[in-house]
Chains A and B, each alone.
Chain A
Amino acid sequence: MGLLVIIFIQASFYALLGLGYVLIYRATRVLNLAHGDLMVFGAYLFLQTLIETGGNVPLAIVLGLAGSALLGVIVYEGVLRPLAGYPVAVGVLATIALGIVLRSLTTVIWSGQTRYPAEYIGELGRPIPVFAGLSVSVIDALIILVAAASMIVLPILLQRAAVGVSMRAVAENALLASQRRINIHRVNALSWALATGMAGIAGVFFSLKVRLGPDIWYVGLAGFAPALIGGMDSLRGAAVGAVIVAAAEVLAARFIAPQIALAAPFLVLLVALWIRPWGLYGSREELERI
């Protein structure tokens, strides 16, 4: 039972990241390998606000989210927009380069020291026993809540809201969408902002639960495993993938060896790619034509 809850929390965390990868992929057809660094940036902004305001948690969370989202827009306008129309590989390599720029920036600004933002929030981070040897902290509950909310809100947004319909239109055919007077750059920037904002939230939760340092970008990078397992353009797939990856990771850590857990998401990913390259719910890319 306890194991199930741990898996569920981990899966919520991965879902937040995986959904971001999917949103970005749908908007710009790019696998954003800088996602982990955008996540770290949001987490540091959160920490900075906590220190400045003396523990104002809601404000800090909002600022962490907003800062990441704003950075997402800047990244889209500055790097991805000029690269539109280039081969996929160029976009991926550009996000790698972007990632190292962001990483060195965060290290220069906030130093490479490991921090524990949980110190600043007092009682909130303490685990509360729920029943029979099972304790959940407010943070854990919040992670699950936010992940569940985004799992419910995002599909509705994409299906019903005008903005969501434009997003889908741009994802399907950018040229046609622009001819229907959709401002594709604004829509794409919004997708990026949503995705990086969610990454920022994930970063905040991770820094509260575990630790904060420039090296946790690695955790954010692992978030592409659920997105790929589920299929790069499927929100539902990202959620299912998150559960699979989280289960593999937690079970490997519990029953085999903690070090293996680091590689577990990638091992699962390799197997999944071998069996079903386009993911569980993803659509097959292009028809083979000459």
Chain B
Amino acid sequence: MSFLPGTLHTRYRDEVRLLDSGFMRFWCAAGLFAALITPLALSNFWTGIANQSLIAIVGALALNLLMGVTGQISLGHAGFLAAGAFTAAALATHFNAPIVVSLVCAMIGGALIGVLVGLPALRLKGLYLAVSTLAAHFVIVVGLGQYQNAASDGAGFAMPPPSAFGFSISTERQWFYALLPVAIVVLLIQINWLRSEFGRAWMAIHHRDVSAEVLGINVARYKLYAFSASTALTCLCGALSAYHTGFVSVDAFDVHLLIQYLAMVIIGGLGSLLGAILGAIFVIVTPHLITVAANAMSPLQGMGGKIFEIEIGLFGVIMLIFLVLEPRGLAGIWARVSAYFLLWPFKFRAWES
């Protein structure tokens, strides 16, 4: 993980280790500790926001895998989230399935959807791929709407309170300690994917698929892997959010949700794991901060019902600013700031990694 001169390994085993220095070990332990005590320091409401952020991190990492790493634009992720949520809802309603079973089933179903959507994607590139995934989004949402009208009273499905391994998960604090390991496991899986054969193949496809093929990478197969891995994790995210919200309705999975997830990976910085995490937290937390700030400022209180619209508009403006001014996103800013402190008192280094 370190690109700076000075960390030299003498054994292959050291190269493979994730926490390869005392510095990394210390900061990862500190980060984990900070994450563990977070819910103790936060009120119930803000713990709920933290839980939403954890779920969003899973989804943003999944979308980043497809868009940032493999370079395949997907505008269908809100549809895939809906598919995951409805898989969980259907299993819980019809078969009384426990949460672990429905999460696993949602992931398997998601992988299958990924193959289905990925197959046409083998022929399509760039713009056309974006559009066909957007079309897939609308088809999925309308189809699930039909199912919702037929199988529930039309309004949606109420999810049972989940329990796993003998623990029931009901309060926001319990949710936090259930979701944190899930997010960490997903992150670890992705870290290991990216530094193995898969990640290298995906990045090669991102840069130029024809030259990737010449290098001996089976482009079709690795594109399908990327699609099914991404949609499986997206469906996991959808199913988790279904249980966390306690209610599933197709109305929640509109284009606005899609835009939120796009904003996460763009604001965070396409192709960066840290970026996906920062972007997810930014996108979930910022609207609430805006609300708090608006409530604090008395002249804005008259805006009342319009605050939601203004929030969304600000969102679009932030996305535009990042696209035009900082395409590498929050991760790019982070890299620049940390490089500044690492190199101080020098201004730049002679080589760029």
Kindly list chain A residues whose C-beta atoms are within 8 Å of the C-beta of B266: 93
The answer to whether B128 touches A228, judged by C-beta atoms less than 8 angstroms apart, is: yes
Please determine whether A266 and B315 come into contact, CB atoms closer than 8 angstroms. Answer: no
Expressed in whole angstroms, the Cα–Cα distance for A285 and B320 within the complex equals: 27
Measured between beta carbons, the chain B residues less than 8 angstroms from A99 are 316
Q: What sequence of 0s and 1s flags, for each residue 268-288 of chain A, a beta carbon within 8 Å of any chain B beta carbon? A: 011001100110000001001
Is B34 part of the contact surface with A, judged by Cβ < 8 Å?
A: no
Is the pair B323, A108 in contact by a Cβ cutoff of 8 Å?
no
Quick check: A100 and B313 within 8 Å, CB to CB? yes
* Proximity string of chain B (245-263) to chain A, C-beta cutoff 8 Å, 1 when within and 0 when not: 0000000000010010011
- Are A31's CB and B135's CB within 8 A? no
A83, B323: Cβ atoms closer than 8 Å: yes
The CA of A108 and the CA of B316, in the complex, are separated in Å by 14
Provide the main secondary structure of the chain B interface: helix
Would you give the 0/1 interface string for B122-134, flagging 1 where the beta carbon is closer than 8 Å to chain A? Answer: 0111111011101
User: Cβ of B128: which chain A residues have Cβ within 8 Å of it?
Assistant: 228, 273, 277-278
User: What mask results when residues 116 to 148 of chain B are scored 1 for a CB within 8 Å of chain A, else 0?
Assistant: 000010011111101110111011001101100
Complex alpha-carbon distance, A156 and B209, angstroms: 39
Alpha-carbon distance between A88 and B125 when the two chains are bound, in angstroms: 10
Q: Which of A108, A112, A228 contacts B313 (CB 8 A)?
A: A108
A107 / chain B contacts, CB cutoff of 8 Å: 306, 309
A97 to B324, CA, bound (A): 11
Q: Is B229 an interface residue (CB 8 A)?
A: no
Number of interchain pairs (Cβ within 8 Å): 118
- The yes or no answer to A219 lying at the interface (CB within 8 A) is no
Interface presence of B107 (CB below 8 A): no
Q: What is the chain B residue whose CB lies nearest that of A82?
A: B324
Q: Which of B67, B134, B317 has most chain A Cβ within 10 Å?
A: B134
**Cβ of A270 and Cβ of B132 under 8 Å apart?**
yes
B120:A270 contact, CB within 8 angstroms: yes
> With contacts A93-B262, A101-B317 known, is A267 near B131, CB below 8 A?
no
A29 → chain B closest CB, angstroms: 8
Q: Is the CB of A97 within 8 A of B320?
A: yes
- Nearest CB in chain A: distance from B259 CB, A: 6
Complex: how many Å from CA A285 to CA B145?
36
Complex contacts, A263 vs chain B, CB 8 Å:
138-139, 142-143
Contacting residue for A270 out of B123, B139, B142, B214, CB 8 A:
B139
A151 interface residue (CB < 8 Å to B): no
**Does A96 sit at the interface, judged by CB under 8 A?**
yes
Given A93-B262, A266-B135, A289-B210, CB of A259 within 8 Å of CB of B313: no
The verdict on A248 contacting chain B, using a C-beta distance below 8 Å, is no
Are the C-beta atoms of A290 and B120 separated by less than 8 Å? Answer: no
B263: nearest chain-A partner, CB-CB: A97
* Residues from chain B with Cβ under 8 Å of A161 in the complex: none
Q: How large is the interface on B (under 10, 10 to 19, 20 to 34, 35 or more residues)?
A: 35 or more
Does B327 make an interface contact (CB < 8 A)?
yes
* B211 lies within 8 A of chain A by Cβ: yes
Decide: A97 and B323 in contact? CB cutoff 8 A. Answer: yes
Q: State whether B73 touches A267 (Cβ < 8 A).
A: no
**B313 touching A89, Cβ below 8 Å:** no
A290 with B123: CB separation less than 8 A: no
| Interface check B310, CB cutoff 8 A | yes
Shortest Cβ distance from A92 into B: residue: B130
Asked if B11 CB lies within 8 Å of chain A CBs, one says no
What's the least CB distance linking B86 to chain A, in Å?
16
Bound Cα distance from A266 to B306, whole angstroms: 32
State how many angstroms separate the Cβ of A243 from the closest Cβ of chain B.
19
Q: Which residues in window 1-23 of B have CB below 8 A to A?
A: none
The answer to whether the Cβ of B331 comes within 8 Å of any Cβ in the partner chain is no
A259 touches B142 (CB 8 A): yes
How far apart are the CA atoms of A88 and B128 in the complex, in Å? 11
Q: Is A216 an interface residue (CB 8 A)?
A: no
Most A C-beta atoms less than 10 A away, residue of B130, B138, B256: B138
Closest Cβ of chain B to A140, distance in Å, is 27
> Of A82, A98, A108, A273, which is within 8 A of B132 by CB?
A273
Q: Interface code A119-148, partner B: CB below 8 Å = 1, 0 otherwise?
A: 000000000000000000000000000000
The residues in B between 161 and 213 inclusive whose CB is less than 8 angstroms from any CB of A are 208, 210-211
**Docked CA distance A103–B184 (Å):** 36
Q: Does B312 contact A (CB under 8 A)?
A: yes
Cβ contact within 8 Å between B324 and A83: yes
**Pick the contact of A101 from B130, B136, B211, B316 — CB < 8 Å?**
B316
User: Is A260 an interface position by the 8 A CB rule?
Assistant: yes
* Contact call B214/A290, Cβ cutoff below 8 A: yes
Taking a contact as CB atoms under 8 Å apart, the answer to whether A105 and B313 are in contact is yes
B81, CB-defined interface residue at 8 Å:
no
Residues in B neighbouring A112, C-beta threshold 8 A: 309
In chain B, what residue has the closest Cβ to A274? B120
16 contacts between A and B (CB under 8 A): A31-B130, A86-B327, A88-B127, A97-B259, A97-B263, A97-B320, A97-B323, A107-B306, A232-B127, A257-B146, A260-B142, A266-B139, A270-B132, A273-B128, A273-B131, A277-B123
Interface residues of B (CB under 8 A from A): 67, 73, 120, 123-128, 130-132, 134-136, 138-139, 142-143, 145-146, 208, 210-211, 214, 256, 259, 262-263, 266, 306, 309-310, 312-313, 315-317, 319-320, 323-324, 327
Instruction: Please list the 8 inter-chain residue pairs (A to B) with the smallest Cβ-Cβ separation, ordered nearest first.
Output: A104-B313, A101-B316, A97-B319, A266-B135, A263-B142, A100-B316, A266-B138, A104-B309
> 19 new A-B pairs (CB below 8 Å) besides A257-B146, A270-B136?
A31-B127, A88-B127, A89-B67, A94-B324, A97-B259, A97-B263, A97-B323, A100-B316, A103-B312, A228-B131, A259-B146, A263-B142, A263-B143, A266-B138, A267-B135, A273-B124, A277-B124, A278-B128, A289-B210
